[in-house]
Amino acid sequence: MEYKDPMFELLSSLEQIVFKDELPKNTLMQKPNPFTEFEQLRRGTGLKTADFARALGVTVATVQEWESKRIKPSSTELKLMRLIQANPALSKQLMD
């Protein structure tokens, strides 16, 4: 039996609810570039680096690593970023 990360499953479900009326942006043939998507999502939130890191539950150093393209955000982190961008109030809840 294949192990599925419960956090990934939860975020996938939330993503489907939030984006249910939008057309899929990626086809099976086209994989998103995590670096490019991160840049778009990060800019779209309007959060400072420290607040963005706190909302995602990562360190500021991790966000800086993403921004410098030394490491890629995981698919779970990208899903959470999409949810924060779609619902900015979520970032405030996550920072509390």
Q: Determine the structural domain holding residue 83 and report its residue range.
A: 50-96
The CA angle 86-50-66, to the nearest 5 degrees, is 75
**pLDDT score, position 65:** 92
**pLDDT score, position 48:** 86
**pLDDT score, position 28:** 43
Q: Which amino acid is at 60?
A: V
The answer to the question of residue 82 being in a domain is yes
**pLDDT score, position 27:** 44
Could you report the average pLDDT of every consecutive run of 10 residues in the chain (96 residues)? 73 74 51 74 83 91 90 87 84 82
Count of domains observed in the chain: 1
The answer to the question of residue 26 being in a domain is no
Contacts of 54 (CB under 8 A, 6+ apart): 94, 95
